[in-house]
């Protein structure tokens, strides 16, 4: 990965940090995106110390703000002439219904709209750096997700599971539609289920769900390093050069849900998201 420039979002902890570390170990220049400068700098110091790779830099943006996403895309292109890998990793699960400054439900905004906007704003630099790769962090829970066009922002009904599952189905639909649109450009787009990983994703779980997710399941869950393996594989391995439009788990392309393979649904979601993010 020497001479390769990689951007990993949400790279100050969890799977994102493990991914950044893995790419740094392979010699890449890695941009660690985070929303808190101090947490980003701490992660940077740790990665530099563990890998001996000093080509690690921090960029800050709150992905709950479309304006901040735009500034992040600008900053990447101002600092770098090439970008070979974009890992859309940052994500969250919100227990309560909240709206972003743009008026969007936060889970949908951070997990789906932000990576869609960031990716589209970086497409020119990715195409210019081809062969290039985009890796989106989805999840097996996309199987329980539904895109509720009548209530995308959860204003009528909201639950953490419903919002999170919807956003993860959106990640898979986005990946497939993106791969179709990128056909022939030398830019690959794939998505990943990293496994059940011990991380801070369940930090807002409380009560019974908190007990299950943060205590009882823990012994059976993967470390972030193990969760990042397939992400790093898709971002860097020659074995998957040219592979695009796939959903991966455990380093293998596996079949995602039936709904995720509906091209009309993917196109409709793309068009709605384009309007919401101001891309259209």
Residue 74 binding ligand NAP, by CB under 6 A: no
CA–CA dist 144, 162 (Å, integer):
8
Find the binding residues for ligand NAP in span 132-191 (CB under 6 A).
Answer: 137, 139
Residue 44 binding ligand NAP, by CB under 6 A: no
Total of chain residues touching ligand NAP, rule CB under 6 A: 27
CA–CA dist 84, 4 (Å, integer):
6
Of 164 and 270, which has the nearer Cβ to ligand NAP?
Answer: 164
User: What HEC string does 215-278 produce?
Assistant: HHCHHHCECHHHHCHHHHHHHHCHHHCCCCCCEEECCEEECCCCHHHCHHHHHHHHHHHHHHHC
Site string for ligand NAP, 81-100 (x = CB under 6 A): --------xxxx--------
Q: Of 224, 226, 244, give the one whose Cα is nearest residue 234.
A: 244
Of 14 and 22, which has the nearer Cβ to ligand NAP?
Answer: 14
User: What HEC string does 24-81 produce?
Assistant: HHCCCEEEEEECCHHHHHHHHHHHHHHHCCCCEEEEECCCCCHHHHHHHHHHHHHHCC
The stretch among 23-31, 44-52, 59-67, 183-191 that binds ligand NAP (CB under 6 A) is: 59-67
For residue 69, report the phi and psi dihedrals to the nearest 5 degrees: -65, -45
Return the H-helix or E-strand segment holding 119.
helix 114-121
Q: What is the DSSP letter of 144?
A: G
Of 249 and 279, which has the nearer Cβ to ligand NAP?
Answer: 249
Of 89 and 120, which has the nearer Cβ to ligand NAP?
Answer: 89
Site string for ligand NAP, 218-257 (x = CB under 6 A): ----------------------------------------
Q: Exactly one of 5, 7, 8, 15 binds ligand NAP (CB under 6 A); which one? A: 15
Residue 29 binding ligand NAP, by CB under 6 A: no
Say whether 164 is catalytic: yes
Q: Which residues are part of the catalytic machinery?
A: 164
Instruction: List residues binding ligand NAP (CB under 6 A).
Output: 10, 12-16, 34-36, 39, 62-64, 89-92, 110, 137, 139, 193-194, 196-197, 199-201
């Amino acid at each position: 990965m020497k001479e390769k420039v990689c951007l990993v979002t949400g790279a100050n902890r969890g799977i994102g940090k493990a991914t950044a570390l893995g790419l740094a170990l392979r010699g890449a220049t890695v941009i660690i995106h985070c929303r808190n400068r101090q947490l980003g700098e701490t992660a940077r110091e740790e990665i530099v110390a563990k890998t001996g790779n000093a080509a690690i830099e921090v960029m800050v943006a709150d992905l709950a703000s479309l304006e901040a996403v735009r500034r992040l895309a600008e900053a990447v292109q101002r600092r770098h002439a090439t970008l070979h890998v974009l890992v859309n990793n940052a994500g969250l699960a919100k227990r309560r219904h909240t709206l972003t400054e743009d008026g969007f439900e936060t889970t949908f905004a951070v997990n789906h709209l932000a990576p869609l906007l960031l990716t589209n704003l970086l497409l020119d630099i990715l195409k210019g750096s081809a062969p290039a790769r985009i890796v989106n962090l989805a999840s097996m829970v996309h199987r329980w997700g539904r895109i509720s066009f009548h209530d995308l922002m959860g204003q009528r009904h909201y639950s953490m599971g419903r919002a999170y599952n919807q956003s993860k189905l959106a990640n898979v639909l986005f990946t497939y539609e993106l791969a179709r649109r990128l056909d022939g450009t030398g830019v690959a787009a794939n998505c990943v289920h990293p496994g059940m990983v011990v991380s801070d994703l369940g930090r807002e779980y409380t009560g019974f769900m908190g007990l299950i997710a943060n205590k009882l399941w823990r012994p059976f869950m993967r470390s972030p390093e193990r969760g990042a393996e397939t992400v790093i594989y898709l971002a860097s391995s020659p074995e998957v050069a040219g592979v695009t439009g796939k959903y991966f788990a455990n380093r293998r392309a596996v079949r995602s849900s039936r709904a995720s393979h509906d091209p009309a649904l993917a196109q409709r979601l793309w068009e709605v998201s384009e309007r919401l993010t101001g891309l259209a």
